[in-house]
Structure formats: structure tokens, C-alpha cells
Chains A and B, each alone.
Chain A
Amino acid sequence: MPYDIETLTNETLVHVGDRYSRYFSRDEVKRTIVEGYFDLCQRARPIWDVYMVDGPVVAATVDLPANLLQVERATWDGRRLEPLHSWAFEKGLDFGYQTETGDVSAYMLNKDGIGKMRLYKAPASSGPYIDYTGSTPWGTIRAFLQTAVASTTQPSPRLGMFARMTNATTIYPADQGMSLSPVFGFLQAVLIIEGAITSIGAFLGFTITGTGVLRMISGLHPSQGVRGIVRSFRFDSRNLRIEYHRRPHDPRTYRQFELPDYSVRYVRHYVMAKLYRRDGPFQDLKMSKSFMLRYTNAVERLKLRMASIDNATHHILGSGGGKLSGPPLAQLPWNYPARTQVRRRR
């Protein structure tokens, strides 16, 4: 049965023996459900997603998404960035790492705050993006008008249904067309364009047919959940892409859980452990301990399940299973001191 938070709340109240919510309020149960849901995702990290910066990336530091739990991989222009600690640069790799511009090859997550990522080097130029200057933040995308490779401007206002692509010759390059037939429905989700795309026109060679909500376009990845309305297109070219484990959307507003139903039940174990621990006539510490044990065992099971794909790995004699060693970090020759200081003559 597909779970939503109301269903899970009802189930929890039945299982704890307070079917009519006479002792535990529904709000309390829902709050605890959300707490358990976030805890499960923090421990097991089951939700993987992709984030790309909206707009040009020209600064050395970028803001990380607010729902980020852990960065798994970052790319620039489709190529992996090396994760480094700032001391690698401070010890001699590049003393001017905070101000250098050029090709981006690495990133750091320390020194600039929890919600920031620093790129090395700061990008010299940005890639193509869609500029919504002058548009309200609401509504659906109405049309694509691109007049240059570097950027494109959406018409304003953006309210209303996406009705028709007008004037295919305004799409760049002119020989790449896009047609929608018929023209009803909404574009679905935020779509990230993979690969070395330099303009919207470079990939727009498809025809959309049928009515209803557009769910997927080949080559495009829906980010931040598969529900909702298309808000923007983002490109890999000369742009930062962060693949990360994220916090789930709040089920009180997102309406459904983002995990399979069997794993949503693990959240119920957490909630029951908390409810049984609460002071009052329902308190039973042994039951609380039992349910918390069920919860922690279930979390471990979920982690093992995500790793089960390793069974399909081929191990070659002498290899350890494909762990990346990578090239060594660049270092100054042995006869240079750890830090070179310029001494002023007195």
C-alpha cells in the first residue's frame, strides 16, 4: 500500500493501542514520524540526488543545497573533481588557491562553512544557463527563446500552462527543432541535461506527443524528486554538478514518502519506540527498547541491501575490489621546506 503520512499515523496509533488518538495526539505522532524519517535517511543515506547551480558559476565558493547530507561526487564540465582539504594547498600545493582562476579541478568543504563548497580554481568563465531575469518565480515554463549560446532569456510573465513552443527558428542552432504535438499538459520536474551540452538547441531534436504530464526526456535527469513542474533546465557544460545524499522532503508537505513502502515501516518502529518511552500510562521501556532494536537492525539491513550490488563485481586476483587509489597529490620536491616564506631585508 503506498504510504502517506496520514496512513502511517493511523497505523502507528493502532499499533500502539491508541486507535482513537485519546492519549497521543496526531500532531505528536506526525512530528515523531518526520523525526524518524529524517533519522533513517541520515543513517542509511538511501536518497541520492543531483544538484546543479542555477545560474552562472563564476565565484570560487558556491552554496550547497540545504538538504545535503553528504557529497558523493562533484563534477565540472562533466569531469570528476578531486576532493581535497585546504591544508593540501596551504602546505605547498598552491598558496594562492583562494584567488586563482582557471580550470576547475578540485573542491574543498572546509574553512568556508558547512553550507559552502570552494572550487579550485575559481572558474574563469561559466557555461550556458537559462536566465529568468524579470520573471516571477511562479508558474510553468512557457517558451524557450535562445538568441545566443551563452544564455537565454525567458519571456515574462511565466504564469499559466505551457501551451506551445513558438517560432522554432528562434531556437539555436536554427536547424535543431522542437515540436510539441499536441500541446497540452505540463513539463514535469527539474530536468538536468547530461553530457557536453552547450545550448538548448544542441539536444532539442525530439517530438513530444500525447497529453498529460511530461515525465522524462531521454538524456535528462529529474532532480529533487520526480514530482512537480519543470522549473528550469541546467547544463553540464562549464557548470558544477554535485551528486549527493540528501534529506528527504517533509512528508507533511510532499504528501508521500520517497522510500519504498517496506522501508517506511521502519520509521514506524522508531515512532513506537519513542511513544513507549514517553512518560505516562503507556510507558513501557522494554517495548521501547525492543522497537528501537528492530529499527536499528532494519537500518543495517537497508545499508546491506544498497551494497548488495557488489555481488556482481568481478574481482581479479590481487585487486581489492575496485577502490580508487588515484594519482598521488602534487608535492614540492624533497629538498624544499614545507613552507617557503619571503623574508624581508631589514
Chain B
Amino acid sequence: MTLQEMREDVLTQLGESVTAPKFWSVADVDAALNEAYEDISDAAEWLEVAVTINLDSRRTWYDLNAWRLGMLSILHFYNSQTQEWMVAGGVRAWDRNQRDWMAATGEPHNIVRRGLNWLGLYPASGTVSGTLIIHGTAMPAAPLAAADSPGFPVEYHPGLVEHALANLKAQDHEPAQSLAHFESYLDYESGLKVYLNSRLELDKHHILGRP
């Protein structure tokens, strides 16, 4: 469904004219639908991305927030110079193996996340050249325009309509209807999560003793 189609669906369910709405403006409905799009993207993490960051000389800590990558979970890391997948570790293991690891430089092969925004490399890169490719999930970069469709399967698009209705009904002081629409949205959200996590299940061969 495009944003236009979802907008018409919402206006219809609100009892408004789809061409000349009176109480709710088109901007209100579009804002509610885009917020629904962000919420379901945040919860289900359907958008898988790979972003490249440049390495700096002698820099251990990289601020993910500074790049405004919009990343949610960060899962795998690839060092383009050594062409190897990096291993996530903890600073405690690094402290145990090399006490002055913070001063070491070389090609990074270990990685750690501190808090939400800081990514640490060990050893720190010794040169200003080199890139790191981060694989993970992210929020959609831009809100939907009228002709755009959400990037996940169409079966879950009505969830955005339900979420938008829950939002607008709450603004209109209709709490019972708002909660009912939100419950309906949650069904779509959990359905999308199950779909994303089970994409291999049909074709997978299960070996005795392993899931």
C-alpha cells in the first residue's frame, strides 16, 4: 500500500472525506502514518543495512551518533583492509590479554560497543586510511511520500493504519477506541517480527539434537 492509499483508509475510518477532510488535515494523517512507520521499524528492525565508516589514526572510540547513521542493532563488522570479519569482545578480555591495549596500534580485529553510541576498536588503526563496514539494522532514512510504500511485506501495511488510528483517536480523547486500534497494531507488529525471524525455517534441515 502506498502512503496515499493508507491515508485514504485512515480518513475513511475516521469518517472524513478522502478528498476534502474537515477535522483532520492531510498533514495530520501523514504525520501519524509516518510515526507508525518509524515505530514498527524500530520494533521489528526489518531494514538491514551496511554502512562504511572511515578509520582514523590512533583513534579507539568512534561515536556512532556523530554519523547520524540511524542504526539500531549493530551485528557484524568487516575490516576492508584485512578482509576479515571482526570479533566482538569485551574490554575485560583485552585487559587480561594485554594490559596496555589502549596504546596499541595496528589493523583492528576486535570490536566492542560501550553504551549505545560508542564503538571501540582493538588495536586502534595506525593509519588514517582504511574503512570498516558495519552490518546491522537501521531506521528508514526518510519519511514516506504519497507514492512511497513501506519496505516490508504488504500484509503488514494495515498495521500502520491501525497505529495511526490509535494515535489520532487518542488526540481526539477517544481512549477506548485508541487502545483497541493499538492492540490491533501490536498483532501486525508481532507478525512482522515472526516473519523476519523465520525466513529460513521452511527450507532448513533440522539435524537430530539441534534446532
Residues in chain A within 8 A of chain B (CB atoms): 14-17, 19, 44-49, 72-73, 75, 78-80, 194-196, 216, 218-219, 221, 226, 236, 243, 245, 258-260, 262-263, 265, 282, 284, 286-287, 290, 301-302, 304-306, 308-314, 322-324, 326
State A310–B112 Cα separation when bound (angstroms). 9
Q: Is there an interface contact between B58 and A312, defined as CB atoms closer than 8 Å?
A: no
User: Smallest Cβ distance from A316 to chain B, in angstroms?
Assistant: 11
Which chain A positions have C-beta within 8 A of B113? 306, 309
CB of B116 within 8 A of CB of A15, answer no
* Any A CB within 8 A of the CB of B10: no
Nearest Cβ in chain B — how far from A275, in angstroms?
Answer: 11
Closest residue of chain B to A45 (Cβ to Cβ) is B115
From 90 to 110 in chain B, residues with beta carbon under 8 angstroms from any chain A beta carbon are: 90-93, 95-96, 99-100, 102-103
Q: Is the CB of B75 within 8 A of A312?
A: yes
Residues of chain A contacted by B87 (CB below 8 angstroms): 312-314
Q: A284 vs B175: C-alpha distance in the bound complex, in angstroms?
A: 8
Chain A residues near B88 (CB, 8 Å)?
309-313
Contact partner, A243, options B111, B114, B117, B175, Cβ 8 Å: B114
**Which secondary structure dominates chain B's binding surface?**
mixed
B100 touches A78 (CB 8 A): yes
Q: Apart from A79-B99, A218-B56, A322-B89, what 10 extra A-B contacts exist at CB < 8 Å?
A: A16-B171, A48-B116, A78-B103, A195-B102, A260-B70, A309-B88, A312-B86, A313-B87, A322-B93, A326-B96
Is there a chain A Cβ closer than 8 Å to B18's Cβ?
no
Residues of B within 8 A of A (CB): 38-39, 42-43, 56-61, 63, 65-66, 70, 72-77, 85-93, 95-96, 99-100, 102-103, 111-118, 128, 136, 139, 167, 170-173, 175-176, 178-179, 182
> Smallest distance from the beta carbon of B148 to chain A beta carbons, Å?
17
Known contacts A196-B103, A260-B70; decide if A221 and B116 are in contact (CB<8 Å): no
Bound-complex Cα distance A314 to B110 (A): 11
Q: Within the complex, which residue of A196, A290, A302, A312 is in contact with B77, where a contact is CB–CB below 8 Å?
A: A312
Beta-carbon nearest neighbor of A259 in chain B: B116
Please determine whether A17 and B75 come into contact, CB atoms closer than 8 angstroms: no
In the complex the two chains form, what is the Cα distance from A183 to B116 in whole Å?
35
Pairs A-B, 9 closest by C-beta atoms? A48-B115, A46-B116, A312-B88, A308-B73, A195-B103, A219-B58, A324-B92, A80-B95, A48-B114
Cβ contact within 8 Å between A290 and B73 = no
B116–A306 touching, CB < 8 Å: yes
Q: How far is the CA of A103 from the CA of B112 in the complex (A)?
A: 28
Are the C-beta atoms of A302 and B58 separated by less than 8 Å? Answer: no
Bound Cα distance A313, B128 (Å): 26
| Chain B residues whose C-beta falls within 8 Å of the C-beta of A312 in the assembled complex | 75-77, 85-88, 111
Taking the closest CB of chain A, its distance from the CB of B55, in whole angstroms, is 10
A218 to B127, CA, bound (A): 10
B174 closest partner in A (C-beta): A17
Asked if A287 and B179 make an inter-chain contact with CB atoms under 8 angstroms apart, the answer reads yes
16 contacts between A and B (CB under 8 A): A15-B167, A17-B172, A47-B117, A48-B118, A49-B115, A72-B114, A73-B95, A78-B102, A218-B58, A262-B42, A287-B178, A302-B116, A304-B73, A311-B75, A311-B76, A324-B90
Bound Cα distance A47, B113 (Å)? 11
**Complex: A306 Cα to B116 Cα, angstroms:** 6
The 8 Å CB contact of B66, one of A19, A226, A259, A309, is A226
- Within the assembled complex, what's the spacing in Å between the Cα atoms of A301 and B44? 10
Contacts of B111 in A (CB 8 A): 309, 312
Give min CB distance, B106 to chain A, whole Å. 14
Q: How far is the CA of A313 from the CA of B171 in the complex (A)?
A: 45
Smallest CB gap from B172: residue in A: A17
- In the docked arrangement, what's the CA distance between A254 and B70, Å? 21
Point out the residues of chain A lying under 8 angstroms from B95, CB to CB: 73, 79-80, 324
Contact A46 B114 (CB under 8 A): no
Question: How many whole Å from B81's CB to the nearest CB in chain A?
Answer: 17
Q: Give Cα A263 to B56, complex, Å.
A: 28
Q: Is the Cβ of B179 less than 8 Å from the Cβ of A46?
A: no
Pair A308/B93 contact, Cβ less than 8 Å: no
Residue among B42, B116, B167 with most chain A CB within 10 A: B116
With A and B bound together, what is the CA distance between A245 and B42 in angstroms? 24
Indicate if the CB atoms of B114 and A218 lie closer than 8 Å. Answer: no
Contacts of B66 in A (CB 8 A): 226
Which residues of A are found within 8 Å of B57, using beta-carbon distances? Answer: 218-219
| Neighbouring B residues of A15 by C-beta, 8 Å | 167, 170-171
B102–A218 contact, CB under 8 A?
A: no
Across the interface, do B116 and A263 meet the contact criterion of CB distance under 8 Å? Answer: yes
B65: A residues at CB distance < 8 A: 258-260
Given known pairs A287-B179, A306-B116, the reply for A17 and B171 (CB within 8 Å) is: yes
- CB B40 to nearest CB in A, in angstroms, measures 12
A221–B60 CB distance below 8 A: yes
- Complex interface: chain B residues within 8 A of A47 (CB): 115-117
Q: A80–B102 Cα gap in the complex (Å)?
A: 10
A219 near B116 with CB under 8 A, answer no
